[in-house]
Amino acid sequence: MSEPALSDSEYLSRQSVFLGQLPEGSLVLMPTNPVAYRSNDTTFPFRANSYILYLCGWSDPEAVLMAHRDGAEWITTLFVQPRDTKAEIWEGRRVGIEGTVSGWPVDQAHSLEDIAESVTSRLNACTSVYCISGLNPELDELISRVDGAELADPTPILDDMRVLKSKGEIRLMQESADIASASHIAAMQATFSGIGEWQIQSTIEAHFIACKSRWSYPSIVGGGDNATILHYNSNDNKISDGELVLVDAGCEISGYASDVTRTWPVNGKFSDQQREIYELVLKAELAGIKACQAGSLWSSMHHATSRVLAQGLIDLGVLDCSLEDALGDDFNGPFRNYFMHGSGHMLGLDVHDVGGGRQGDDKPERRFEPGMVLTVEPGLYFGSWRTDVEIPERYAGIGVRIEDNVLITTDGPVVLTSSCPKTIDEIEALVGNDG
């Protein structure tokens, strides 16, 4: 059975901050994610909604967190699956109502079987309902029957709260980062010419499971030209001698994610052309990490990586123009033909975590603050299959991305994934060396 990942005091503090921002007459209804069926009675692995994880740590399926006012006080209630011996024989032990009250940071617990009666009475007495719609059809139906109550979205308030991580959250994210880093090392050591992408994936994900974690997103293992496809995840091709493999794989602990990318030669030796691109991307990544200073604008990190990449592409003869022209207006110049994504994103209970910062995000730009965790992940991609841009023959089939997880502190950036090697010498010493 599950248990909260953090202290009761931390969850209660979050609830207090969140509920303190709601107007009088508000009711909060926070459902977890629905169980998704793969086929017949076979389900996909369940993963709780990040907002219910954030507010109370509840990770089991079929639950709703409710908060209502009783005079000046907020009362929190979890509706959960009741104990049911027959169901538990088939599906596993349940926490139940009594276990929820004694083990979770809520005031009350009730059976999901009673939710219609309990919620309806609260809905009739409220003026606004803060609920995430579309997750629980029964809840949505109950809310739709109520006249006069305004439906409001709680996520903007919670998204702002989730931006800065606590010491407890950072501890979990460091654990996740350590596991992911070790999995990449194990994959490098197990790599050989002719290996299947799926074999590298199995090494990575076996390490996740062995460490009692789970992947935080489907692993990307792309060899050769497949490394130039940003969200490639077929992972079903063999990787030939002389090719690079790009591995983007992370895990999560109690919902808190890591997100790591490394690129290495399957035969253990970078060619001159691969080395040129790899060293350029690594230089850009280090510049991006250095730019992650408290008080600086988020864009300063993307601009730092972009300047290095654009100048490098000019120096290598890929671009024939000035740095100003290569960068273009708003850093969308021709260097973007080979670096198509943003330089990083927030990281936390979601891999692409809430709070803004992603490339193309229309939210107001944030400044780095101590407690933020983000990725820094520049890359260069020269797909030989592309016809939309000119691909230099000497770099055709090369895709390189290097990604680390970075904590913002008052003393500068701290790389949570620093135990994962990324210099050429370190990588060449590891690949194929599983002894």
Q: DSSP assignment of 2-57, as one string?
A: ---SS-HHHHHHHHHHHHTTSPTTEEEEEE-PPP-EEETTEEPPP---HHHHHHH-
Q: Do the beta carbons of residue 402 and residue 378 sit within 8 Å?
A: yes
Could you tell me the CA-to-CA distances from 114 to 96, 118, 123 in Å, in that order? 14, 6, 14
Pick the CATH number of 167-430 from 3.60.15.10, 3.90.230.10, 3.40.50.720, 3.30.465.10: 3.90.230.10
Question: What gap in Å lies between CA 392 and CA 384, rounded to an integer?
Answer: 9
Question: What gap in Å lies between CA 217 and CA 202, rounded to an integer?
Answer: 14
Which residues of the chain fall short of a pLDDT of 70? 1, 358-361, 435
pLDDT of residue 360: 62
pLDDT of residue 146: 87
> By C-alpha distance, which of 107, 145, 153, 90 is closest to 123?
145
If you write DSSP's letter for every residue of 157-208 in order, what string do you get? HHHHHHSSPPHHHHHHHHHHHHHHHHHHHHHHHH--TT-BHHHHHHHHHHHH
AA identity, residue 76:
T
Which positions are catalytic?
Answer: 41, 231, 248, 259, 341, 345, 352, 377, 381, 401, 403
Neighbours of 5 (CB within 10 A): 18
Neighbours of 12 (CB within 10 A): 15
Question: What gap in Å lies between CA 368 and CA 357, rounded to an integer?
Answer: 10
pTM assigned to the model: 0.96
Could you tell me the CA-to-CA distances from 361 to 205, 345, 346, 364 in Å, in that order? 31, 10, 12, 8
Beta strand 26-31 with 64-70 is antiparallel
Question: What gap in Å lies between CA 92 and CA 43, rounded to an integer?
Answer: 14
Tens-digit pLDDT profile for residues 177-208: 999 999 999 999 999 999 999 999 999 999 99
Neighbours of 118 (CB within 10 A): 17
Neighbours of 41 (CB within 10 A): 7
The CATH architecture one would assign to domain 8-162 is: 3-Layer(aba) Sandwich (3.40)
pLDDT of residue 363: 75
Q: In the structure encoding, which two tokens stand for residue 311, read together?
A: 């100048």
Domain residue ranges in the chain: 8-162, 167-430
Question: What gap in Å lies between CA 81 and CA 115, rounded to an integer?
Answer: 11
**What is the Rg, in whole angstroms, of the alpha carbon atoms belonging to the chain?**
24
Question: What gap in Å lies between CA 370 and CA 405, rounded to an integer?
Answer: 14
